[in-house]
């Protein structure tokens, strides 16, 4: 998020960051079309696991939330739920141009414009859609950032919680999930 601050971590935090950078679990939530490039990244051709990353089923045990492309408001509600269930330190990697400014869906009534208004983004991966090599390069970058203590999006979210909540409510109306039975 913010890159220019000086390193004021204590030694334990440095050690913690070092270890967490080497075992990253990314949450298995395919939010948009970029998710189609994740299976090739995970499976034998590109094999993400050699970087020390793997998919994780539940948000509570995951470190990285991938936002793979555009987010409709309906998905954003669930993404916020999921993000708030994750334990700190938690990181968000956003794919493609849609998360930056809406991309090709800039005038859509259903998808949001910029993601970092609602959730703190640590790293953007460019491209529509990003190729597996780019995705892996991005993960590599994320690992470096975590080691240096630069991936501080989650702290930013804690400190500016009110601002994020206000933006979420402004755009989404309410962040609540109802069932489909309409009873």
Partner 1 sequence: MNEVKLFLGPQHPGMHGNYSVHMYVDGDIIKKARPTPGFLHRGFEKLMERRYWMGNLALIPRICVPEPDTNEMVYAMGVEALANIEIPEKAHWIRMLVLEMARVAIHLMSLGSIGGPTGLYTATYWAIAQRDLLLDLFEELCGARIYHMYIVPGGVRKDLPEGFTDKVLAMMDELDEKIPEYEDLILKHPVIHARTKDNILLPAEVVWELGVTGIGMRSAVGKEYDLRKVKPYAYYDKVDFEVPTATYSDALTRLNLKVRELYQSMRIIRQVIDKMPSKGAVNVPVSTGSALRWTVPAGMVYSAVESSRGEYGYFIVSDGKEMPYRIAVRGASYPQGLLGIEKYLKGHRIDDASLWMDSMGVCTPEIDR
Partner 2 sequence: MNSMNNTINEIKAALKPLKMETPAFRQIAVVVKPDTVHNALSYLKQKGFTQLSIVTCVDWIKESEFELVYILFSWTEGIHIQLRARIDRDKPVMVTATDIFPGAQYYEREVHEFFGVEFTGNEDAAKPLFLEIWDDLPPLRKDFDPQAYSDSKFPMRERGNEFVSEIGGHDDE
Residues found near partner 2 in the complex (CB under 8 A): 3-4, 73-74, 77, 100-102, 106-114, 117, 144, 170-174, 178, 182
* Minimum gap (Å) between residue 60 Cβ and partner 1: 11
- Binds 4, which of partner 2, partner 1, none (CB < 5 to 8 A, cut-off by type)? partner 2
Q: How far is the CB of 108 from partner 2 (least distance, A)?
A: 6
Size of the site for partner 1 (CB under 8 A): 38
| x/- track of binding to partner 1 for residues 13-42 (CB under 8 A) | --------------xxxxxxx-xxx-xx--
Radius of gyration for the alpha carbons in the chain, expressed in angstroms and rounded = 16
Span of 6-14, 123-131, 149-157, 162-170 interacting with partner 1 by CB under 8 A: 123-131
CA atoms within 13 A on the CB side of 167: 16
Cα–Cα distance between 32 and 55 in angstroms, integer? 17
Is the Cβ–Cβ distance between 39 and 68 less than 8 Å? Answer: no
Q: Dihedrals φ, ψ of 3, to 5°?
A: -105, -15
Q: Using a CB cutoff of 8 Å and minimum separation of 24, what contacts does 20-23 make?
A: 20/63, 20/89, 20/146, 21/143, 21/144, 21/146, 21/147, 22/52, 22/143, 23/52
For residue 134, what is the enclosing H or E element?
A: helix 132-148
Other CB atoms within 10 Å distance of the CB of residue 132: 19
Instruction: Find the part of the chain contacting partner 1 (CB under 8 A) among 6-14, 99-107, 115-123, 154-162.
Output: 99-107
C-beta closer to partner 1: residue 14 or 28: 28
For residue 174, the partner it binds in partner 1, partner 2, none, with Cβ less than 5 to 8 A by kind, is partner 2
Residue with structure tokens 């075992």? 23
Which tokens sit at 93?
A: 């990697």
Q: Which stretch binds partner 1 (CB under 8 A): 1-9, 12-20, 108-116, 152-160?
A: 108-116
- Interface contacts to partner 1, rule CB under 8 A: 27-33, 35-37, 39-40, 43-45, 55, 57, 59, 70, 72, 74-75, 78, 82, 104-105, 107-111, 128-129, 131, 177, 179-181
């Amino acid at each position: 998020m913010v890159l220019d601050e000086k390193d004021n971590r204590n030694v334990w935090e440095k050690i913690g960051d070092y270890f967490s950078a080497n075992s990253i679990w990314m949450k298995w939530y395919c939010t948009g079309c970029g998710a189609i490039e994740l299976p090739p990244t995970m499976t034998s051709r590109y094999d993400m696991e050699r970087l020390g990353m793997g998919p994780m089923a539940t948000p509570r045990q995951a470190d990285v939330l991938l936002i793979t492309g555009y987010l409709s408001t309906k998905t954003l509600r669930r993404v916020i739920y999921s993000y708030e269930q994750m334990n700190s330190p938690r990181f968000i990697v956003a794919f493609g141009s849609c998360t930056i400014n809406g991309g090709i869906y800039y005038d859509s009534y259903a998808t949001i414009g910029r993601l970092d208004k609602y959730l703190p983004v640590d790293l953007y991966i460019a491209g529509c859609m990003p190729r597996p090599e780019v995705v892996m390069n991005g993960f590599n970058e994320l690992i470096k950032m975590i080691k240096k203590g630069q991936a501080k999006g989650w702290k930013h979210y804690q400190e500016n919680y009110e601002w994020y909540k206000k933006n979420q409510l402004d755009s989404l109306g309410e962040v609540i999930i109802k069932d489909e039975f309409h009873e």
